[in-house]
Structure 1
């Protein structure tokens, strides 16, 4: 009697597995092909290779299980043109928040960005989005002069100005890069010295840290030549160049 029950159990299990295979396996395969399956339950995921072309190993930043994408924005650039997030579609680009009268970290950040610009002069799919956090002073004319002084030649590098509240919301919520006013600090503004890396589809991407989570940002202040700053922090410009090259190869 126990043998019959055991046989019935095996038959039942086999039937369940068959049904599972018919219903769920195709869906799982579809999710893998679509890059939906995550490697961990952290705020990040890796992209899997597909049959259509190269896909890098750079991670996505995930918020509540969703890969973080650049939100819509619209500002005026240093040439007086209206630039939106759609102008960067199909391009790999870096994001910074700065202001032209900054005497501390901004000059270092933009020297490093020019160095990166000069590394990818042959790529029409690379760009930079520079948002001023002092739009009342940084008009289109001021930004244009600033771009000329810094030898900006990439046509996809836009220095943008516009509504201050919209810029601050874009920085702090859209890109998770801190920016704010502070009358108690030199120059009256505070902001991160980091760069965000965006892929051709508008997603924030980065390498993973030692714990398997995305680094999220790249240090923008220390140059390749310096290698290490006074606080012992190492440069990440060389890393950033390598990762831009990876994303430029993606479909």
Structure 2
């Protein structure tokens, strides 16, 4: 009988402990979880403002030399972008799929930074046989380009595809089986004032390398990172 009373007493003590202390423990754990989560978000944001150099074999990768013709029939080389933060892309004017989205998003960057002399955009056509300077000029006017530093560039197809596939590792190629006859990745590349490819880290600490030009959230990130590079001394 005494043993039964002992069990009842112990059970009562456990019940009281649970009622009084467990809610406090839960609140504290939840509070610490929120603080930890916020701390991680803050650190992640701060970490992402320090843009990485994209390295191959330990060497920072820069934009290869090129010389093409823009929509105003002017010869433009990679040297024309030195001293400017630049966003580069590969597209074609008759693209029926991702290019209209990409260049609508690119236009938001143009609207944001077009007044700055140290910002530029380079859009390389992967269909230069169609995209003559005249065609590119009409395309630029259709998109309401504001910046004098947004260059739509054309040249020899072999040279442009080499720049895309080898220079940037952004795929571009002829494919008669797909809409428009060409396939390519919708990436935007961010270049600093010294001609180096730059990027933020992803949530796992790895470089993103490129920004998806069809994704508004990624373009928003890119806009922040452009400003970070413009602010660099």
Partner of 1:249: 231
Distance 1:156 1:176 in 2: 24
Instruction: Tell me the C-alpha RMSD between the 2 structures.
Output: 0.9
Partner of 1:96: 89
SS of aligned partner of 1:236? helix
Q: Which has the larger radius of gyration?
A: 2
Distance 2:115 2:177 in 1: 43
Partner of 1:116: 109
Please give the TM-score of this superposition, normalised by the length of structure 2. 0.78
- 1:140-166 Cα deviation digits (max 9, x unpaired): 100000000100111111000000000
- 1:195-232 Cα deviation digits (max 9, x unpaired): 00000000000101233221000010123xxxxxxxxx
Partner of 2:122: 129
Q: Does the CA-based 8 Å contact 2:115-2:147 persist in structure 1?
A: no
Partner of 2:59: 66
* Aligned 1:85-234 pairs, distance under 5 A: 85-223=78-216
Distance 1:74 1:213 in 2: 32
Partner of 1:5: none
Distance 2:189 2:77 in 1: 17
Matched pairs, number = 185
Partner of 2:219: 237
Please give the TM-score of this superposition, normalised by the length of structure 1. 0.72
The answer to whether structure 1 residue 76 and structure 2 residue 58 are counterparts is no
Greater fraction of residues in helix? 2
Gaps of 5+ in 1: 1-55, 224-234
Distance 2:104 2:172 in 1: 20
- 1:117-154 Cα deviation digits (max 9, x unpaired): 11113311111000000000100100000000100111
Distance 2:123 2:77 in 1: 12
Q: Which runs of 4+ in 1 moved over 4 A?
A: none
